[in-house]
Amino acid sequence: MSGLEIERKFLVCSDDYKLLAYDSSRIKQGYICSGHGRTVRVRRRGDCGYLTIKGPSDGKGMSRYEFEKEITLEEAEQLFKLCEPGIIDKTRYLVRSGNHVFEVDEFYGDNEGLVMAEVELQSEDETFEKPHFIGREVTGDRRFYNSHLRKFPFVIWGASLQQEDR
């Protein structure tokens, strides 16, 4: 898959997504390089490996170029050896809402306690039905990019979210 990725991200305010999910899988991902908004990522999702290259986000943080290629698990494991320090570990739940699928990520390790949902869109102004477990939008907030969470995990700054929501 390659092309323009358009997505919006949200915090999740209840664990109802687990009851509504039609599928889930464990994800391990690392970054071979990340900087200036560009990333090269290796991912293991279930029994599949992926190599993904992402370009910088637009001004709103909603759109960016993405190239993704499926690779073997053996290739993925070899590429993990090249990754920068810090691995993202999470379970992804898939939840249908209207004509869209929300990907809900529950993080582990140093990002424990963070649960985010994202929905991919065909255009930036496309409408969608928000499931009831969706909270505050964090699209464009770089703290919530996986490449940032690797360097600055949620355990360091997550408590400040409660103050922001007051």
Q: Is residue 93 among the annotated active site residues?
A: no
152-155: long-range contacts at Cβ-Cβ below 8 A with a sequence spacing of 24 or more?
Answer: 153/86, 153/109, 153/110, 153/111, 154/107, 154/110, 154/111, 154/112, 154/113, 154/114, 155/110, 155/111, 155/112, 155/113
- Regarding beta strands 115-120 and 2-12, do their DSSP bridges make them parallel or antiparallel, or are they unpaired? antiparallel
Among 17, 31, 50, 93, the active-site one is 31
Q: For tokens 């709103």, what's the residue?
A: 60
Look up residue 111 and give its DSSP letter: G
Query: So which residues are the catalytic ones?
Result: 31
